[in-house]
A and B are shown apart, each in its own frame.
Chain A
């Protein structure tokens, strides 16, 4: 077994016992990237030199006997909407094709402070707008389980990099399911923390009231470790909340007294039978571990997609107004005498892809005079109803279990021309974003075609501990993490 196929906590043991070095792990990761990323397309930008530099520094520190953070020396991939100082950060858009931020995102500062080794920037849907990683200016990312399939999105590159052992762990962002859905489709663990738990400073905004950065990892323990490394209060983010964190320590807590909510509205038409079967099997496993099951209702689930696409596109239309060819990024190469308004229009039309333009247009429309009350304000009110649903449900249970997505990965190109169809595939992940609550996706089986199925566990705000414990208990019992894209049971 190669070093890059191990989880972070496994590598940590090897590093601490001196059996390997960060440099060796980093080398194994880059070897795999060199061999296979041409087919996968997980990365947009690699920072090999920096990675080896840091790996060597970390190895030296360890040799000197310094106390090292848990994830010291672990290679990590970073979604390309997270700003890295002096390293190109594109958001998968032509409009930021050559943008080099003069600042570091807070999460990047934190992983550097944890002595982790950043290896590159991963592909994504342009501005995180998509569910398939097909809208990237830099090309599609392929699902390591089947190259004809999408890896999910928008954090498709981050999910694929971990699934294909081209990174040990990675960072993604989740606005409507963009960590959990690709995690589910690539057979890895993806966690969307509570809104406010991880600083958004340096995360290129899609929808500010929904965006949240989180870990994509090989297993639940790595997820907890990486969450511990990146969460915490940040004075540069006004929506950042100060809550103490030691999720990794609490991981193996018993779940035998936990009540698990099963929401009626998540097991309905549109849910593929294979997915439903796998999720119901997983619920049985948890019941076998002593958890109590409780039927709950989230009656406004059916309105989540409409609510989400109104709020997210409205915020996006404003967040993306800054890409105008003035301060940074792409500008239309002018023939002489171009007017300012032509410069704006051509820059933005050429710089943004179709889906981004569609969403900017939609958001502009719903915010415009005469429509605000009917769309944006209405959606904000329904958002309250959706939050209330969860509050009520969590009165009866400790966490809620559901599928991550209604289907496993679909074919590249299958939904790209039908935006509404694409939006509908986010039905199960969107409510957690609207409510601001944490949710994790973990593998819970494979379809007959050999594609991973994701199990989603949603928790109360700031109670990542319960969902991590539940996920960990399930993972230990079911052991899906030993399945790899090659289909070889290791």
Chain B
């Protein structure tokens, strides 16, 4: 059963900002289909009245005081930056609120 077409793969790779070559795209589509078909296994289970688990730890209300600690400072903050300009991170031009 084919679940995803190359078009869906294009949508997904656009969402996660990954470019694929045509060959990669083809292989990727096949592999994702194979994996997703396997995942259909879960549909065998009736989970209607089952609460989802998002955390396994028995914790709630983990909070910290609103107390200041020293920041890193811009020099250290920028030390790993691929490109910078003065004290700023530098990126290709952003146009009209889109990327």
Contact = CB atoms under 8 A, between A and B. Distances in A.
B53 A387 contact: yes
Given A349-B18, A361-B13, A384-B50, A327 B41 contact: no
B93 interface: yes
Interface string A95-115: 000111010000000000000
A309 interface: yes
B52 to A, nearest CB: 3
A337 to B, nearest CB: 8
Contact of A235 (B38, B64, B91): B64
Given A326-B91, A384-B51, A419-B31, A378 B8 contact: no
Interface stretch (A55-63, A182-190, A328-336): A328-336
Contacts of A436: 56-57
A267 interface: no
B7 interface: no
Interface stretch (A274-282, A340-348, A473-481): A340-348
Among A209, A321, A362, A419, residue most surrounded by chain B Cβ atoms (within 10 Å) = A362
A343 B19 contact: no
Interface in B1-56: 4, 8-9, 11-13, 15-20, 24, 28, 31-32, 34-36, 38-39, 41-45, 47, 50-56
Nearest to A101: B80
B68 interface: no
Interface size class of A (residues with CB under 8 A): 35 or more
Contact of B19 (A349, A365, A385, A420): A349
Interface string A377-419: 1111111110100000000000000000000000000000001
A146 interface: no
Given A309-B35, A341-B99, A349-B20, A361 B45 contact: no
A143 B19 CA distance: 34
B20 A195 contact: no
A13 interface: no
Nearest to B41: A306
Given A360-B16, A361-B18, A239 B42 contact: no
A340 B80 contact: no
Contact of B45 (A235, A343, A365, A385): A385
Among B8, B35, B41, B43, residue most surrounded by chain A Cβ atoms (within 10 Å) = B35
B79 A100 contact: yes
A305 B41 CA distance: 10
A365 B42 contact: no
Given A209-B56, A361-B28, A365-B4, A382 B45 contact: yes
A325 interface: yes
Interface residues of B, number: 54
A145 interface: no
A25 B89 CA distance: 44
A328 B28 contact: no
A368 interface: yes
A17 interface: no
A327 B80 contact: yes
Among B34, B51, B52, residue most surrounded by chain A Cβ atoms (within 10 Å) = B52
A360 B41 CA distance: 21
B76 interface: yes
Contacts of B35: 309, 362, 419-420, 423
Contacts of A306: 38-39, 41-42
Interface in A155-208: 195-196
Given A327-B80, A346-B19, A384 B39 contact: no
Interface in A299-356: 300, 302-303, 305-307, 309-310, 317, 321, 324-331, 334, 338-346, 348-349, 352, 354
Contact of B15 (A307, A324, A339, A368): A368
A72 interface: no
A139 B4 CA distance: 32
Contact of B16 (A302, A340, A364): A364
B22 to A, nearest CB: 13
Interface in A416-443: 419-420, 423, 435-436
A6 interface: no
Given A196-B57, A328-B81, A361 B12 contact: yes
B82 interface: yes
B47 A378 contact: yes
A368 B12 contact: yes
B92 interface: yes
A364 B15 contact: yes
Contacts of B19: 345-346, 348-349
Among B20, B35, B44, B56, residue most surrounded by chain A Cβ atoms (within 10 Å) = B56
A113 to B, nearest CB: 19
Contacts of B56: 195-196, 209, 387, 435-436, 461
10 contacts: A102-B80, A302-B41, A306-B38, A328-B82, A362-B36, A364-B12, A365-B4, A378-B42, A384-B51, A419-B35
The 6 closest A-B pairs by CB, nearest first: A436-B56, A380-B52, A328-B80, A331-B82, A381-B47, A345-B19
Interface of A: 98-100, 102, 195-196, 209, 235, 238-239, 241, 300, 302-303, 305-307, 309-310, 317, 321, 324-331, 334, 338-346, 348-349, 352, 354, 357-358, 360-362, 364-365, 368, 375, 377-385, 387, 419-420, 423, 435-436, 461
